[in-house]
Chains A and B, each alone.
Chain A
Amino acid sequence: MNPDASTIAAGAPIEVDLSPVAEGQDIKVFWRGKPIYISHRTKKQIDEARAVNVASLPDPQSDEARVKSGHEQWLVVIGICTHLGCIPIAHEGNYDGFFCPCHGSQYDSSGRIRQGPAPANLPVPPYTFVSDTKIQIG
């Protein structure tokens, strides 16, 4: 009952062009049936994400480890709440990040869990920068 071959094939990597996404905006693309949030973060959001004491977080991880160096403004996360799988809403909640409407989990501008029942940060999917304005997810 594991995924069949066609499902797996449809899950091949995809390329996303980032040039139309302005600063402070984000887009949602689907990969393997999952929504992927690509946010073009503002300076403020990046600073906020880097200012927190990593050790104090429920799932400690530094912002540097969650983005690609040289492309700090881009945050790419799988938009599935690590609690029970709802899609968090971007630009909501108290941490300038994501807010999950289902049971109230809040994520910061680095997609890290800050408050609520979710146990872990929003996962970062495997991706690479093909060029400065294009990434390949998968």
Chain B
Amino acid sequence: MSGPSDFQPSNPALQWLERRLPILGLMHSSFVVYPTPRNLNYWWTFGAILSFMLGMQILTGVILAMHYTPHADLAFKSVELIVRDVNYGWLLRNMHACGASMFFFAVYVHMLRGLYYGSYKEPREVLWILGVIIYLLMMATGFMGYVLPWGQMSFWGATVITNLFSAIPYVGESIVTLLWGGYSVGNPTLNRFFSLHYLLPFLIAGVVVLHVWALHVAGQNNPDGVEPKTEKDTVPFTPHATIKDMFGVACFMLLYAWFIFYMPNYLGDADNYIPANPGVTPPHIVPEWYYLPFYAILRSIPNKLAGVIAMFSAIIILCFLPWLDAAKTKSSKYRPLAKQFFWIFVAVCILLGYLGAQPPEGIYVIAGRVLTVCYFAYFLIVLPLLSRIETPRPVPNSISDAVLAKTGSRSTPMVSTAIVLALAGSLFAGSIDSAKASEGSDKPPGNKWSFSGPFGKYDRGALQRGLKVYKEVCANCHGLSYVAFRNLAEPGGPGYSVAQAAAFASDYKVKDGPNDAGDMFERPGRPADYFPSPFPNEQAARAANGGAAPPDLSLITKARSYGRGFPWFIFDFFTQYQEQGPDYVAAVLQGFDDHVPEGVTIPEGSYYNKYFPGHAIKMPKPLSDGQVTYDDGSPTTVAQYAKDVTTFLMWTAEPHMEARKRLGFQVFVFLIIFAFLMYFTKKKVWADSH
């Protein structure tokens, strides 16, 4: 993409093609001989990482779309079926869902890198603006994709976000109707979001081509911000940049695989494992983490229209960055003040993200307002001002000078980091205190689960006992509608044989029909049947249980959670702690108490439970000692029952967990070896360029 190429393929067939369509020459000049600055650091590999992620998302997305049903009544179920029944469906889904987060993570690093090194400055303004357009398209795509599983967060996220447009004067309402295709978010909305979610990635790919084109016309920026002048300043793209990018991608894939195989639900919201219900708003609507800073800006402004405007301008302002920051020196490496402010800005964004996830009350609102002002001040006051008052340090003459100088001295500009840490620390400390005060001390106690950790497996005995408890106790009120009898004989499950599963199924009566006479009839269950629900529909369940329908238990251990709070959620990432759901379920089963503590009033028809949010639960104490007999000699206590049935329900929610962790280990071994190979190859290739 940088002018005509003199590339001549040696193969006559390729020569023939080249004379008619010089595509090989284009590739050759863009990705092989293309001169890339010698001093690029690893932050520059994020371009390649992003291309990789885009390809990954499109590939997994296309396959997922083959199995997905975009209908309000079926979407949730079809996603569950993908995870349970499609070959490696769980892998595809995790790759796609975690992939979205990884994509955004990479794009944020990529954007901040551009910000730090001044990559938006002359002559790269158009390149930068194209980047902002890609980012906007990504946000739209990510949002619509999050709606497709049609869980509670999908539905209510869609409601909140589409309603943003109703703030526009005069035309707002009609725009919202157009987005919905009805009078509220519903099936037509889901259909059009699916269509657009499929379309937008290809638009992104198109803009990415423009982005790369613009990049190859203007040339890459580099950490020193001086343009290459001589041959000595650059190295050819292949093999130098190619191999370095491959090493970068390999390292990034390690992080990606950590999420896919070990923490697939870490970044998601438990509420999204509850099917969408237009009649109930979840108590706390949070968008995906990558929108949180903007959500915090939206909420910190107490006026609807102004809030929406602020939120959108927080993104649009990026387009004007090349003109807001008029400093001649590109790289913040040589701008002592800009560097400090850059890190403060990063801290502001992270804190805004943290606030976006907190309930909109008290100190959080005030902090949100302060940080919103800081966010805009960075662009509108700090950057324009700095370009006038700051005296940058001298910039090296050329890239090769910079590379030579680097091998000599190494300065340690740690002041800014200290400022940032102090600032972040104090704000976090403040917010934890208030969070502690408001939450009380009813966190479910942690348990030791056989299935936790990177090598966790289900305890077969516990699964079998848990199934018995479910069958004899829970099944009277709770369904298990995503689990089929055949699953009982599948590897990684309770370990029954196919014949045992069939015998188990035949104990059940299943409704079938209509037969030739047009009547419905009952027959014994077959392995392919699903556990029958105790009530014919939700209304019946509600009516029989004092107004609160007993939830289906198939996904309950993933659909319930409790806030871990700062700093636990950070440690959880490293310890792979994912058992909030099982801990909560086990705690609720054991949390009943006839003695209601003072200050808690329990309405008629409800029961006190220590761990249930609000403490008043409609379910009476389900388990008591000795209620279910065990033939393997395990203690018949409530604690044991709770533990067994929770293990069983964890399996119903994650039937392929053992396969997932096993494959994860293999992938990790492979990726680590691959990354090492890439690293040493890179060392070799770059040996005489440094």
> Does A3 make an interface contact (CB < 8 A)?
yes
Q: For this complex, into which size category does the number of interface residues on chain A fall?
A: 20 to 34
CB closest chain-B residue, reference A104: B360
> Does B211 make an interface contact (CB < 8 A)?
no
Measured CA separation A101–B281 after assembly (Å): 8
Q: Say whether A30 contacts B279, CB under 8 Å.
A: yes
Measured CA separation A42–B231 after assembly (Å): 85
Residue of B159, B164, B177, B181 touching A86 (CB-CB under 8 A): B159
Q: Say whether B304 contacts A119, CB under 8 Å.
A: yes
CB closest chain-B residue, reference A82: B304
Residue of B192, B299, B361 touching A1 (CB-CB under 8 A): B192
Residue of B188, B279, B283 touching A35 (CB-CB under 8 A): B279
Given known A-B contacts A2-B178, A3-B177, A103-B299, A33 and B186 have beta carbons under 8 A apart: yes
Interface residues of A in 1-55 (CB under 8 A from B): 1-4, 7, 11, 28, 30, 32-35
Complex contacts, B186 vs chain A, CB 8 Å: 33
> Does B307 make an interface contact (CB < 8 A)?
yes
Interface residues of A in 112-138 (CB under 8 A from B): 116-119
Q: How far is the CB of B312 from chain A (nearest CB, A)?
A: 14
Q: How far is the CB of A17 from chain B (nearest CB, A)?
A: 17
Given known A-B contacts A2-B177, A30-B279, A119 and B182 have beta carbons under 8 A apart: no
Complex contacts, A116 vs chain B, CB 8 Å: 302
Question: Quick one: which of A7, A104, A117 has the most chain B CB within 10 A?
Answer: A117
Mark B133-155 against chain A: 1 for CB-CB distance below 8 A, else 0: 00000000000000000000000
CB closest chain-A residue, reference B184: A33
Q: How far is the CB of A124 from chain B (nearest CB, A)?
A: 16
CB closest chain-B residue, reference A34: B184
> Does A60 make an interface contact (CB < 8 A)?
no
Given known A-B contacts A117-B304, A118-B304, A2 and B184 have beta carbons under 8 A apart: no
> Does B58 make an interface contact (CB < 8 A)?
no
Complex contacts, A103 vs chain B, CB 8 Å: 299, 360
Q: Say whether B178 contacts A1, CB under 8 Å.
A: yes
Q: How far is the CB of A35 from chain B (nearest CB, A)?
A: 6
Question: Quick one: which of A34, A83, A85 has the most chain B CB within 10 A?
Answer: A85
> Does B305 make an interface contact (CB < 8 A)?
yes
Measured CA separation A102–B180 after assembly (Å): 20
Residue of A7, A85, A118 touching B159 (CB-CB under 8 A): A85
Chain B interface residue count, Cβ-Cβ cutoff 8 angstroms: 35
Complex contacts, B166 vs chain A, CB 8 Å: 85
Q: How far is the CB of A1 from chain B (nearest CB, A)?
A: 5
Complex contacts, B669 vs chain A, CB 8 Å: none
Given known A-B contacts A33-B184, A119-B304, A119-B305, A87 and B283 have beta carbons under 8 A apart: no
> Does B160 make an interface contact (CB < 8 A)?
yes
Q: How far is the CB of A94 from chain B (nearest CB, A)?
A: 14
Mark B160-178 against chain A: 1 for CB-CB distance below 8 A, else 0: 1011101000000000011
Measured CA separation A86–B184 after assembly (Å): 11
Question: Quick one: which of A33, A100, A101 has the most chain B CB within 10 A?
Answer: A33
Given known A-B contacts A30-B279, A85-B163, A103-B360, A3 and B303 have beta carbons under 8 A apart: no
Q: How far is the CB of A135 from chain B (nearest CB, A)?
A: 19
Given known A-B contacts A28-B279, A102-B281, A117-B299, A86 and B160 have beta carbons under 8 A apart: yes
Q: Say whether B361 contacts A3, CB under 8 Å.
A: no
Complex contacts, B159 vs chain A, CB 8 Å: 84-86
Complex contacts, A87 vs chain B, CB 8 Å: 279-281
> Does B278 make an interface contact (CB < 8 A)?
yes
Complex contacts, A32 vs chain B, CB 8 Å: 182-184
Q: How far is the CB of A37 from chain B (nearest CB, A)?
A: 11
Q: Say whether A86 contacts B156, CB under 8 Å.
A: yes
CB closest chain-B residue, reference A3: B182
Q: How far is the CB of B144 from chain A (nearest CB, A)?
A: 14
Given known A-B contacts A118-B304, A119-B304, A84 and B160 have beta carbons under 8 A apart: yes
Q: How far is the CB of B198 from chain A (nearest CB, A)?
A: 16
Mark A65-108 against chain B: 1 for CB-CB distance below 8 A, else 0: 00000000000000010111111000000000000111110000
Measured CA separation A28–B181 after assembly (Å): 23
Q: Say whether A33 contacts B183, CB under 8 Å.
A: yes
Complex contacts, B208 vs chain A, CB 8 Å: none
Measured CA separation A2–B182 after assembly (Å): 7
CB closest chain-A residue, reference B187: A7
CB closest chain-A residue, reference B307: A117
> Does B474 make an interface contact (CB < 8 A)?
no
Complex contacts, A86 vs chain B, CB 8 Å: 156, 159-160, 281, 285
CB closest chain-B residue, reference A7: B182
Complex contacts, A4 vs chain B, CB 8 Å: 181, 188
Q: Say whether B304 contacts A3, CB under 8 Å.
A: no
Measured CA separation A119–B301 after assembly (Å): 12
A-B contact pairs, 10 of them (CB 8 A): A1-B192, A2-B181, A3-B181, A32-B184, A33-B182, A34-B184, A35-B278, A84-B304, A86-B160, A103-B299
Q: Footprint of A on B, CB under 8 Å?
A: 156, 159-160, 162-164, 166, 177-178, 180-186, 188, 192, 278-285, 299, 301-305, 307, 360-361
Further contacts, 17 of them, CB under 8 A, given A7-B188, A33-B186: A1-B192, A2-B177, A7-B183, A33-B183, A33-B184, A34-B184, A83-B304, A84-B163, A84-B304, A85-B166, A86-B281, A101-B281, A101-B282, A117-B301, A117-B303, A117-B304, A119-B305
Q: Return the 6 tightest CB-CB contacts between A and B, nearest first.
A: A33-B184, A32-B183, A85-B163, A86-B281, A84-B160, A84-B163
